[in-house]
Structure 1
Amino acid sequence: MSHPTAAPPDAERKIVILGAGPTGLGAAYRLQELGYRNFRLVEARGKVGGLASSETSPNGFTYDIGGHVLFSHYEYFDRLFDKLMGDDYQELVREAWVWMCGRFVPYPLQNNIKDLPKEVVLEIVMGLVEAQKTPLDLDAIENFEQLIMKQFGAGLAKYFMMPYNFKVWAHPPRMMNKEWIGERVALPSLQRVLGNVILDRADAGWGPNNTFKYPRYGGTGGLFERIVPYVKEHLQLERAAARVDLDAKVVHFADGTTESYDVLMSTLPMDKFVGMTGGAAPTAVRDEAARLRHSGSFIVGVGVDRPADTSKCWMYYPEGDCPFYRVTYLSNYSPEVVPDYTRQHSLLAEISHSEFKAEDRETVVDRTIEGMLNTRLLRESDVDKIVDTYVIERDYTYPTPSLERDAALRTIHPWLHGHDVYSRGRFGAWRYEVGNMDHSVAQGVEWANRVVLGEVEEELTYQAKRGC
């Protein structure tokens, strides 16, 4: 990613960016960095950050929209973080766990099964041995469930991989493709697993985020709020896009106003954006957009009037004794997310929902507290010490890497680009693999470099190669 500073000759083209989440903010920041001035960044909500924003409850507890951590694949993002945050951040060593069989086991589970009951260890090891008797033939594997069975075996599939992945994705793994996992799932080495069991060896260091950063103030949203001073002259809040006229190149907003453009970047969910184009979308594009799948979430924050008694960061929950799939000790990330860190701590639970996994909004707080008691996050004596509960609800939190997804993207992106529209971001690109905060910022930055400088979007090269 190059970083020139001079504005190009065609800077008079008007750019409109829909959505001031990480991708929209990344694009806007890069445009102003390049000296480009003719752009507008428009956000429907009253604050920036999108799914990476944070909210503060009436009782003064700050909660993120999910368990975010900051680790980066990009030098540009690292430099931007350092510039924006200065010394106002915490640097932490990951301490992640899996709650299973009535105990906490170090993450990743597949490398630490020695801590499970012996009969479960035997079942997992035998399943892994059986699964890896024959070489992996990816071409013969049709979906994520088949990959789980072939790579992890029946034991790990039964106890963790199948129930956990349904909990987090709210879709059966058989409906998901096998291409998305990348570095996000630790594929097991039989030699490593057996060595850890026989030698009683702990093995918790795997993963791209074994150390991470976190803003000291304002949660993850505190990082993105610091971009605002650089783009504020171009930023408009509380202005929701309602319809897009692709022929006239005009965005119509819910408040009755309009905005013309020469180039448009949308970070809105791709299926919603296609719907906003009305009859302009061909039947094939509308049909493919309707095939895109996603899940939503209830994010439940719980504030407790006692200090945390652990250094844990986050925990995974595959079993049915709780509704959540992950809980974060958010106050362990920063003392500033609770009113008084010396006597309080906070927990952040994530519960997914979809057409395949219904969740009751009215009972989600009570079920979350019950689940925290069941899994020893809370003691019975803590119930009277709960001083805050807060629910954040979002209908779009995970873009599902479904079997239909890639074919849909190959149809929709070229059609949009033919109208000078670029769909980017976690739900704009609809690629979970590049949906972390650093990925999302990089999408915006690389898009700005593409439009202004003619560079290739490295983060979305697969689209560029297909004429997208």
Structure 2
Amino acid sequence: MPKAEKVEVLCIGAGPTGLGAAKRLNQLACPSWLVVDSCDEVGGLASTDVTAQGFLFDVGGHVIFSHYKYFDDCLDEALPEPEDWQHHQRVSYVRSRNTWVPYPYQNNIAMLPKEDQVVALTGMIDAYAAAKTATDKPSNFDEWIMRNMGEGIANLFMRPYNFKVWAVPATKMQCEWLGERVSVPDLKLTATNIILSTVTSNWGPNATFRFPSREGTGGIWKAVRKTLPESRVRNSTVIIKINTTRNEATTSTGDVIAYRSLLSTMPVDVLCKMLHPPRDDLVKLSQNLFFSTTHVIGIGIRGPRPARIGDKCWLYFPEDDAPFYRATVFSNYALANVPPSDAKLPTLRRANEKEGYGRLDSTEKEGPYWSLLLEVAESSYKPVNADTLVEETIKGAVATTLMHDSDEIVSLYYRSFLHGYPTPTLDRNAQLQFLLPELKKLGIWSRGRFGSWKYEVANQDHSFMLGVEAVDSIMFGAPEISLHNPNYVNGKYNTERQLTSNAPTATFGAAPAADIILDDFLTTNSAK
């Protein structure tokens, strides 16, 4: 028989955003709140799957680096022991012109063949000269690439790679999202590297990162879940309708959850279709938001990690000899990501099973083992044949020297996600500026990677804090800094809030706690 219940705050989705909201609601002692999720485990797009052979694969390339002390505190509370984490120095390359170019590519063209160095450097010089006289801002991402890097790097790397990862032409993307995401080349540094045959590779916020020692990225969110009251986070609960007149959410089993405020982390285009009474204007507008689908392929391999792989972390592939845009050497992140060496597994196939390496030995044998995680993007601009994608991925891994023809594959993993990347198209901001406030008028805070559709604040730390800040907005009317000021967040907002603050316990509807008001932010942004 259908059930009815009532809460002050209902959150749909138990990924990083929903769990961030849960942490804040619990910290502030909200009298009644509930997080529901359709999956049987928490984590959302930051979860981890395990194959039948015991290989772990994240549902996409994830590492932990943070812009927020509050986020760090929550993770350290959930996984408090030093042995809970592996700490890494990023070792990242671009596969270009049959060689490995250290990331960021644009600063390390010294690794390219001489003729490509000339093309790239000439383009950079032209771009530098043109930028001196430019009086307007780039109107799209492609113009930004040309103005900052020139035609050589644009054609060698930036255009083909970004089409592979975004599955949309750079001319159709805005450039406001870039922030810390893309390194702008230093002309003097690049010229110096060419002359001295040196490289520069420590750029970016994820130059160092940490990764959980066990259970993959999903293990982080399972651990965070354990710090919360068990009854407040409910899995295997599918919301099918949201009545904005009665403030009620209906589940697939007919249960009704009444709420005062709703935080939704589902894709906003899906959310708008669930509203009752229908809002055709919101449905139509949300359907115009562009996104790409992500296909994730995992390969478990028997044998010692090859010297050519070494300590590489993740690798970029702009060229068309492989369908994937990124490969992660997932076994390098944690020993537990692969089975122990003494685990006996049969060989499923060779990497190139058509080359004829003799009869396949199906006898169960011991390891050691290593693994690759590869990602492929799809959209209406870039179709993908899912039926042949795994085979094409294996061939691409061989073509790019990630694997050899004779490598023994002992485990294969494949999963696709309809909503993979929220694309910052040219008209995205205008769409969101109408959509999100209209939903808020209905008592719905739509937040998260696809809830607020802002890639620039869609990492795990950002997503978590979108949930935290949405709760502060719901309870106190506090500003949502991550949502509205991504550049500020990514630039300096990383030490101003702590889980272990001395703020008084807040009650629902009470005045803001001391740690909610960010004086520095409000002072420096009051005129904006």
TM-score normalised by the chain length of structure 1 = 0.94
Is the Cα contact below 8 Å between 1:126 and 1:155 reproduced in 2? yes
- SS in structure 1 at match of 2:336: helix
Aligned mates of 1:173, 1:241 — CA distance in 2: 36
Q: By how many angstroms is 1:140 displaced? A: 4.0
Aligned mates of 1:461, 1:294 — CA distance in 2: 20
Q: Which residue of 2 aligns with 1:33?
A: 27
Residues 21-77 of structure 1: CA distance to partner in whole angstroms, max 9, x if unpaired?
000011011111111240110101111101000100111111001110100000111
Q: Which amino acid aligns with 2:446?
A: S
> Given the alignment of the two structures, is residue 210 of structure 1 paired with residue 207 of structure 2, yes or no?
yes
Residues 380-436 of structure 1: CA distance to partner in whole angstroms, max 9, x if unpaired?
120xx1000100110001000001100000111111111111000000010000000
Aligned mates of 2:416, 2:135 — CA distance in 1: 37
Is the Cα contact below 8 Å between 2:7 and 2:257 reproduced in 1? no
Aligned mates of 2:256, 2:239 — CA distance in 1: 9
Aligned mates of 1:138, 1:391 — CA distance in 2: 48
Q: By how many angstroms is 1:462 displaced? A: 4.8
Q: Which residue of 2 aligns with 1:8?
A: none
**Do the aligned partners of residues 210 and 438 (structure 1) sit closer, same or farther apart at CA in structure 2, a change above 3 Å counting?**
same
- SS in structure 2 at match of 1:312: coil
Q: Which residue of 1 aligns with 2:392?
A: 367
Residues 260-293 of structure 1: CA distance to partner in whole angstroms, max 9, x if unpaired?
111000000011111111553252x333212100
- SS in structure 2 at match of 1:262: strand
Q: Which residue of 2 aligns with 1:62?
A: 56
Q: By how many angstroms is 1:135 displaced? A: 2.4
Q: Which residue of 2 aligns with 1:9?
A: none
> Given the alignment of the two structures, is residue 72 of structure 1 paired with residue 66 of structure 2, yes or no?
yes
Q: Which residue of 2 aligns with 1:178?
A: 175
Aligned mates of 2:182, 2:330 — CA distance in 1: 23
Aligned mates of 1:318, 1:439 — CA distance in 2: 27
- SS in structure 1 at match of 2:253: coil
Aligned mates of 1:440, 1:307 — CA distance in 2: 37
Q: Which amino acid aligns with 1:338?
A: V
Q: Which amino acid aligns with 1:260?
A: A
Is the Cα contact below 8 Å between 1:52 and 1:221 reproduced in 2? yes
Aligned mates of 1:378, 1:174 — CA distance in 2: 34
Is the Cα contact below 8 Å between 1:95 and 1:314 reproduced in 2? yes
| Alignment match of 1:99 (pick from 95, 99, 109) | 95
Is the Cα contact below 8 Å between 1:142 and 1:177 reproduced in 2? yes
Residues 311-334 of structure 1: CA distance to partner in whole angstroms, max 9, x if unpaired?
100100000000000000011000
Q: After the TM superposition, which residues 221-232 of structure 1 pair with which residues of structure 2 at under 5 Å, given as runs? A: 221-229=218-226, 230-232=228-230
Is the Cα contact below 8 Å between 2:16 and 2:44 reproduced in 1? yes
Is the Cα contact below 8 Å between 1:291 and 1:404 reproduced in 2? no
Q: Which amino acid aligns with 1:378?
A: M
Q: How many residues are aligned here? A: 452
Is the Cα contact below 8 Å between 1:294 and 1:396 reproduced in 2? yes
Q: Which residue of 1 aligns with 2:248?
A: 250
Is the Cα contact below 8 Å between 2:48 and 2:218 reproduced in 1? yes
Q: By how many angstroms is 1:452 displaced? A: 2.3
Is the Cα contact below 8 Å between 1:20 and 1:43 reproduced in 2? yes
> Given the alignment of the two structures, is residue 288 of structure 1 paired with residue 282 of structure 2, yes or no?
no
Q: By how many angstroms is 1:138 displaced? A: 7.6
| Alignment match of 1:160 (pick from 157, 180, 190) | 157
Q: After the TM superposition, which residues 130-145 of structure 1 pair with which residues of structure 2 at under 5 Å, given as runs? A: 130-135=126-131, 137=134, 139-145=136-142
Q: Which residue of 1 aligns with 2:123?
A: 127
Q: Which residue of 2 aligns with 1:430?
A: 453
Is the Cα contact below 8 Å between 1:29 and 1:231 reproduced in 2? no
Based on CA coordinates, which of the two structures has the bigger radius of gyration? 2
Aligned mates of 1:312, 1:218 — CA distance in 2: 21
- SS in structure 2 at match of 1:392: strand
- What runs of 5+ residues in structure 2 fail to find an aligned partner? 1-5, 342-366, 487-521
Is the Cα contact below 8 Å between 1:246 and 1:280 reproduced in 2? no
- SS in structure 2 at match of 1:362: coil
Q: Report the RMSD for the aligned CA atoms in angstroms.
A: 1.7
Aligned mates of 1:396, 1:82 — CA distance in 2: 29
Is the Cα contact below 8 Å between 1:28 and 1:231 reproduced in 2? no
Q: By how many angstroms is 1:188 displaced? A: 1.0
- SS in structure 2 at match of 1:439: helix
> Given the alignment of the two structures, is residue 391 of structure 1 paired with residue 414 of structure 2, yes or no?
yes
Q: Which amino acid aligns with 2:212?
A: P
Q: By how many angstroms is 1:110 displaced? A: 0.8
Q: By how many angstroms is 1:134 displaced? A: 2.3
Q: Which amino acid aligns with 2:145?
A: I
Q: By how many angstroms is 1:231 displaced? A: 3.7
> Given the alignment of the two structures, is residue 376 of structure 1 paired with residue 372 of structure 2, yes or no?
no
Q: By how many angstroms is 1:456 displaced? A: 1.6
Aligned mates of 1:347, 1:68 — CA distance in 2: 13
Q: Which amino acid aligns with 1:408?
A: Q
Q: Which amino acid aligns with 1:116?
A: L
Is the Cα contact below 8 Å between 2:298 and 2:371 reproduced in 1? yes
Q: Which amino acid aligns with 1:267?
A: T
Aligned mates of 1:218, 1:93 — CA distance in 2: 21
**Do the aligned partners of residues 255 and 29 (structure 1) sit closer, same or farther apart at CA in structure 2, a change above 3 Å counting?**
same
Q: Which residue of 2 aligns with 1:5?
A: none
Identity of aligned residues (%): 38
Q: Which residue of 1 aligns with 2:339?
A: 339
Q: Which residue of 2 aligns with 1:450?
A: 473
| Alignment match of 1:187 (pick from 184, 188, 197) | 184
